[in-house]
Amino acid sequence: MNRIYRRCAGLDIHKKSISACVRIQPRGQQEPEIHEAVFGTFTAELENLRSWLKQHKVKHIAMESTGVYWIPVWNVLEAECWRFHLLLVNPARVRAIRGHKTDRIDAARIAEYLQEGRLSGSFVPSPRMRQWRDMTRLRVHLQQDRNRVINRIGGLLEKANLKLGSVASNIVGKTGRAILEAIAQGRSKPEYLANLAVGSLRHKKAELLQALNGRYTEHFRWMLQQLLGELRWLDGRIAELDARISDALQPHADLIRRLCTIPGVSRLTAWTLIAEIGTDLSEFPDAAHLSSWAGLSPGNEESAGKRKSGATSKGDRYLRRLLVQDAWAVSHKENCYLTAVFYRTAHRRGLKKAAVAVAHRILVIAYHIIRDGTEYRERGGDYFDRKDPARTALRLTRRLERIGFDVVLSPRTSATVMPKATSEQTSPTPSKRRRGRPCKCQERGIPCTHATPTSDCRLPAIPDHCPRCHKWGIPCIHVRKHILHNDSPQDPSDTST
């Protein structure tokens, strides 16, 4: 095996001890020199480890990412003045053979793999990025604590026969908070509590009167006061943390603005993107590497020519979870490219995989915005229809044919002159106009068929019979409906079935 480095070291890190192994390949010799030692994890002992590595003139060091125990070692060795080239390795890449595992063997194996160039390092953010990560991840945990408190309040209300959650979707919204505070202060009359409703809940006072007719006890009010106090404290912590994150990321305000142009991406998502992947994407050669690192790319497990699994890897759980949440929010937007991606994927793979696919697409877009300094450009919800019109026309034609229509397509050209609709066709008399939304035939430049004694306006104007009713083998019901609303009805016996 070729030796990539003449001098290197491997560290096997634990909570209380570190096993170190240095491999030195002398020139002209086959067997390397091996030096081993064990150090503690206190700061003074870590400095002794650093001196020991400098004594052996080691520049390249590899270590496992064992929990958070690698971070103190990294902090001591990463300073530029020591000129160490550190490599953080996934433990799965240096897994030992069962029955041949000790701390000393693990350190020697890491050093051997490093010397032979068989290791690839994990992404380690800069000290400033680590501070951003600490704040954004702390906010995630505070928000989770807040959700747990809200769930406890909901459970407490149910135990007291208060069904506020059945009327208000958010029991700690403006109306819900006012009602809960009033209950905690001793109010119990449903009429008084229902009058505290604001916004759309003002129209549900009758339901609130029934929902707020519960059993109020002294113990219930005390528990509610405790939970509301905890909720207020968490709200204050989150607001304080938001202000600190905003101040820390103020130099990247323009980047945050450009990231927020992506549909579904909020300011919190932009903060998380910057904190998790940074603004210098040199660690990720392209968007595919970033998606794989974040755990949003399909897995690849194949054996004997059969694909066994395409499950995604774990990746960065903070970034992945937030992007998937944004994907679900995007699914409710209108005339949006990402919404089209969601339903296009959901049709084939299901809703959950569609959410992951949209999260992957959002991350790819964010990668190019950060790297290239561009902004998001909306393609529109009909992007895939316009991308290949012939394929779209074929798909829609087959869909119409499956429900019993014969479709003949003729492409529109600039030389085609649409027939001019007459005033009688485009503006039927009020007695002949169908109920519903106004006719748009004149706007589309086609002859109007809504005022003619045909079947339902959604069907072709066929004078002999209604295709739908003819297919079902029943007398046409659409002509009968038209007769009832027409000023000069025809004789039903003249209509063939």
Query: Is-contact 359 324, C-beta < 8 A?
Result: yes
Q: What does the chain come to in residues?
A: 497
Query: Please, which residues bridge with residue 301 across strands?
Result: 309
Identity (one letter) of the amino acid at 15? K
Query: Is-contact 63 53, C-beta < 8 A?
Result: no
Q: Which residues of 447-471 are buried (b: 16+ CB within 10 A; e: fewer)?
A: ebebbeebbebeeeeeeebbbbbbe
3-class secondary structure for 29-54? CCCCEEEEEEEECCHHHHHHHHHHHH
* pLDDT tens digit sequence for 316-366: 899 999 999 999 999 999 999 999 999 999 999 899 999 999 999 999 999
What is the structure's pLDDT at 185?
92
What is the structure's pLDDT at 83?
85
Q: Which two tokens stand for residue 325?
A: 């949440």
What is the structure's pLDDT at 439?
66
Query: Is-contact 16 72, C-beta < 8 A?
Result: no
Q: Which two tokens stand for residue 15?
A: 């909570």
| pLDDT, block means (10 residues), the chain with 497 residues | 83 94 86 93 95 93 91 90 88 77 90 90 91 96 96 95 93 94 92 92 92 93 96 97 96 95 94 94 92 88 78 88 95 93 93 95 96 92 90 90 87 57 41 50 63 42 56 60 44 41
What is the structure's pLDDT at 412?
74
What is the structure's pLDDT at 423?
41
Query: Is-contact 275 135, C-beta < 8 A?
Result: yes
* pLDDT tens digit sequence for 387-411: 888 899 898 999 999 998 888 888 7
| Interior angle at CA 292, CA 286 and CA 296, nearest 5 | 115
Nearest to 293 by CA among 196, 219, 367, 210: 367
3-class secondary structure for 102-155? CHHHHHHHHHHHHHCCCCCCCCCCCHHHHHHHHHHHHHHHHHHHHHHHHHHHHH
What is the structure's pLDDT at 408?
87
Supply the DSSP symbol for 63.
E
* pLDDT tens digit sequence for 126-169: 999 999 999 999 999 999 999 999 999 999 999 999 999 999 99
Alpha helices in 168-217 (DSSP H): 174-184, 190-194, 205-211
What is the structure's pLDDT at 47?
94
Q: How high does pLDDT run on average in the chain?
A: 84
- Alpha-carbon Rg for the chain, nearest whole angstrom, is 34
Q: Which residues contact 111 (CB under 8 A, 6 or more apart)?
A: 8, 9, 10, 21, 22, 23, 62
CA distance 462 to 479: 11
Q: How far is Cα of residue 408 from the mean position of the Cα atoms in its chain?
A: 42
CA distance 351 to 333: 15
Domains within the chain, CATH numbers bracketed:
7-122 (3.30.420.10), 128-248 (1.10.287), 252-372 (no CATH), 424-494 (no CATH)
Nearest to 278 by CA among 138, 126, 121, 75: 126
